[in-house]
C-alpha cells in the first residue's frame, strides 16, 4: 500500500516537472522563432528582392540610398544633380511600362527577347533609372550599369521616420513613429486610468458598504469581459465624434481617443488588483493606526496605500501591459497614421495595430513579413522591460517598509 502511494507521488512529481518544463520550452521556442524571423529582415536587400535598379553606363551616379530611390520614384527628386549626377532630368522607369511600349509578340513566347528590349530602352534614354527583375537583366550589355545593392540597415530601421512597407522599388521601414505612437497612447492611457482606478479601488476596499461592494464588484468584472472589438466600435461611433466636437478638432481619430478607450479597458485590471492588495492589509495594522488616533484618511494614505504599494505597482504594470498590447480597439480609433506624435490631438499608429492590419497580406518570408515580426520583438522587449523594472521597484519598496 505504502509503496503504491510512493509510486503515485513520484509519478505526479515527474508529471508536474514535465509540464513545467514543456511550458518554459514552448515560451523559449516562441521567443526564438520571433527573433529569428524578425532579424532575418537585415539580410534583405533594400530594393525589393529579385529586382535591380539599372541606369545608363554614361551616368556618373554610383550609389543611391533607399530614401533617394523612393523620392526619385515619387518624383520628389527630379534631376540627377540632386544625387551627385549630371544636370539632367531623371526618367523613372518601371518594369510594367515595357508592355505598353512594345506589342506582346515582340517579347517571344517565353519572354526570351525581353532582356534585349529592356536593354534597348536603357541605352536609348541616358537619364533613365529602370526598376526591373534580375532575371531579365542583360548581363553582357556594357552600356547598362546596375546600381550596387545593400541590405536593409539597422539604423534605418530603428531611426527611420517613414513607414511605407509596400512602397516600390524601395520600401521604407522606419519604426520610430510606431514605437513612439505605442508609448504615447499607452502613457496617456495610464495617466488617465491610474488616478481613477486608485480612487475606485480605495473606495471599494475601505469606504463602500457590503451592499454597494457586492453590486460594484461584478459590474467592474463585467467591464473586463467586454470584447476589445466592441470597445473599438463604441470608440469609433461614440467617442471619436464626441472628442472631435468637444474639442473642435479637424479629426476625431486621435491619440487622445485611443488613450481614453485604453484607459477604460485598463481600469478593471487596475481596480481589481489594487483593491485585492489593499484588502490584504492586516487587520492589526489598521486597528493600530486608528488606535493611535489617526483618522480614516490618514490610515488610508499613511498605512494602507504604502502597505499595498507592491500590489498597486503590479496593477499599474498589468494595466500598462494591457494598454501596450491592445490591438483591435486602438486600430479602430487612432486613425493609424504613421507620424511622429507631437501632440495628443493627432492621429498615431501603434505597433499591434500595424501587425494586425498588415500581416494578412504580407507575403510570407518577405521583407515586409519579417519587419512585422521584428515589430513583435520590439513589443516583447518593451513589455519585458516594464515588468522587470516593476519587479525591481516593488522589491525595493518592500525592503524599505520592513
Partner 1 sequence: MKKTILTTVVLIVALFNVQAQRIKGSDTMLPLSQKTAEEFMKINPSSTVTVTGGGSGVGIAALLEGTTELAQLSRKIKFDEKNKLKEKGKTVKEVIAAYDALAIVVHPSNKVSNLTREQLEGIFTGKIKNWKEVGGANMPIVPYSRETSSGTYEFFKESVLKKKNYMSGIMSMPATGAIIQSISQTKGAIGYVGLAYLNKDVKAIHVSYDGGKTYVEPTVANAKNESYPIVRPLYYYYDAAMEIKVKPFIDYVLSAKGQKIVSEIGFITVK
Q: Using CB under 8 A as the criterion, which residues of the chain lie in contact with partner 1 when the complex forms?
A: 50, 70, 73-75, 94-96, 133, 161-168, 172, 177, 236-237, 240-241, 244, 250-253, 331-332, 335-339, 347, 349, 357-358, 360-363
- Choice between 304 and 329, CB closer to partner 1: 329
**What is the phi/psi pair of residue 172, to 5°?**
-105, 115
The separation between CA 272 and the C-alpha centre of its own chain, rounded to angstroms, equals 27
- Choice between 73 and 188, CB closer to partner 1: 73
DSSP-based three-state secondary structure for 79: strand
> Rounded to whole angstroms, how far apart are CA atoms 283 and 160?
55
User: DSSP secondary structure string, 357-383?
Assistant: HHTTTSPTTSHHHHHHHHHHHHHHHHH
- For the bound state, the minimum distance from the C-beta of residue 383 to partner 1, rounded and expressed in Å, comes to 24
Give the cell for residue 162.
Answer: 517613414
- Choice between 272 and 350, CB closer to partner 1: 350
Give the cell for residue 245.
Answer: 466636437
Give the cell for residue 292.
Answer: 493611535
- For the bound state, the minimum distance from the C-beta of residue 373 to partner 1, rounded and expressed in Å, comes to 16
314 within 8 A of 269, measured Cβ to Cβ? no
- For the bound state, the minimum distance from the C-beta of residue 242 to partner 1, rounded and expressed in Å, comes to 10
- Choice between 95 and 203, CB closer to partner 1: 95
Return the number of other C-beta atoms located less than 10 Å from residue 372's C-beta.
Answer: 22
- Choice between 317 and 338, CB closer to partner 1: 338
- For the bound state, the minimum distance from the C-beta of residue 54 to partner 1, rounded and expressed in Å, comes to 17
Spell out the residues 6+ positions from residue 62 whose beta carbon is closer than 8 angstroms to its own: 147, 148
> Rounded to whole angstroms, how far apart are CA atoms 223 and 51?
51
CA distances from 334 to 216, 239, 253, 258 (A): 30, 11, 5, 5
- For the bound state, the minimum distance from the C-beta of residue 252 to partner 1, rounded and expressed in Å, comes to 6
- For the bound state, the minimum distance from the C-beta of residue 288 to partner 1, rounded and expressed in Å, comes to 56
The separation between CA 173 and the C-alpha centre of its own chain, rounded to angstroms, equals 13
> Rounded to whole angstroms, how far apart are CA atoms 290 and 287?
5
Give the cell for residue 16.
Answer: 508536474
- Choice between 165 and 311, CB closer to partner 1: 165
Spell out the residues 6+ positions from residue 284 whose beta carbon is closer than 8 angstroms to its own: none
- For the bound state, the minimum distance from the C-beta of residue 267 to partner 1, rounded and expressed in Å, comes to 25
- For the bound state, the minimum distance from the C-beta of residue 349 to partner 1, rounded and expressed in Å, comes to 8
- Choice between 218 and 360, CB closer to partner 1: 360
CA dihedral 370, 375, 377, 381 (to 10 degrees): 160
- Choice between 50 and 103, CB closer to partner 1: 50
Give the cell for residue 1.
Answer: 500500500
- For the bound state, the minimum distance from the C-beta of residue 309 to partner 1, rounded and expressed in Å, comes to 40
- Choice between 75 and 399, CB closer to partner 1: 75
Amino acid at each position: 500500500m505504502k509503496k503504491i502511494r510512493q509510486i503515485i507521488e513520484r509519478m505526479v512529481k515527474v508529471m508536474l516537472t514535465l509540464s513545467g518544463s514543456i511550458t518554459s520550452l514552448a515560451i523559449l521556442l516562441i521567443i526564438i522563432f520571433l527573433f529569428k524571423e524578425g532579424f532575418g529582415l537585415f539580410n534583405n536587400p533594400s530594393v525589393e528582392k529579385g529586382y535591380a535598379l539599372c541606369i545608363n553606363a554614361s551616368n556618373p551616379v554610383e550609389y543611391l540610398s533607399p530614401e533617394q530611390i523612393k523620392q526619385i520614384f515619387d518624383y520628389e527628386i527630379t534631376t540627377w544633380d540632386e544625387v551627385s549626377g549630371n544636370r539632367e532630368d531623371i526618367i523613372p522607369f518601371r518594369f510594367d511600362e515595357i508592355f505598353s511600349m512594345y506589342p506582346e509578340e515582340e517579347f517571344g513566347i517565353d519572354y526570351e527577347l525581353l532582356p534585349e528590349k529592356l536593354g534597348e530602352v536603357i541605352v536609348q534614354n541616358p537619364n533613365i533609372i529602370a526598376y526591373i527583375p534580375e532575371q531579365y537583366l542583360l548581363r553582357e550589355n556594357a552600356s547598362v550599369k546596375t546600381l550596387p545593392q545593400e541590405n536593409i540597415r539597422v539604423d534605418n530601421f530603428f531611426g527611420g521616420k517613414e513607414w511605407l512597407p509596400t512602397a516600390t522599388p524601395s520600401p521604407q521601414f522606419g519604426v520610430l513613429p510606431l514605437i513612439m505612437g505605442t508609448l504615447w497612447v499607452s502613457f496617456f492611457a495610464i495617466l488617465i486610468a491610474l488616478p481613477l482606478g486608485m480612487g475606485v479601488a480605495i473606495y471599494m476596499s475601505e469606504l463602500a458598504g457590503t451592499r454597494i461592494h457586492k453590486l460594484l464588484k461584478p459590474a467592474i468584472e463585467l467591464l473586463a469581459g467586454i470584447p476589445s472589438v466592441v470597445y473599438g466600435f463604441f470608440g469609433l461611433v461614440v467617442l471619436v465624434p464626441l472628442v472631435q466636437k468637444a474639442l473642435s478638432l479637424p479629426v476625431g481619430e486621435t491619440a487622445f481617443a485611443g488613450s481614453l478607450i485604453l484607459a477604460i479597458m485598463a481600469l478593471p485590471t487596475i481596480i481589481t488588483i489594487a483593491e485585492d492588495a489593499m484588502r490584504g492589509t492586516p487587520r492589526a495594522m489598521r486597528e493600530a493606526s486608528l488606535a493611535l488616533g489617526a483618522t480614516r484618511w490618514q490610515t488610508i494614505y499613511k498605512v494602507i496605500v504604502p502597505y499595498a504599494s507592491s500590489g498597486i505597482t503590479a496593477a499599474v504594470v498589468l494595466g500598462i501591459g494591457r494598454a501596450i498590447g491592445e490591438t483591435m480597439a486602438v486600430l479602430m480609433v487612432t486613425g493609424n497614421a504613421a507620424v511622429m506624435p507631437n501632440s495628443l490631438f493627432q492621429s498615431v499608429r501603434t505597433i499591434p495595430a500595424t501587425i494586425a492590419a498588415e500581416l494578412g497580406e504580407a507575403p510570407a518570408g518577405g521583407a515586409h513579413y519579417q519587419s512585422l515580426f521584428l515589430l513583435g520583438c520590439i513589443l516583447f522587449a518593451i513589455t519585458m522591460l516594464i515588468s522587470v523594472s516593476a519587479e525591481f521597484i516593488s522589491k525595493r519598496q518592500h525592503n524599505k517598509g520592513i
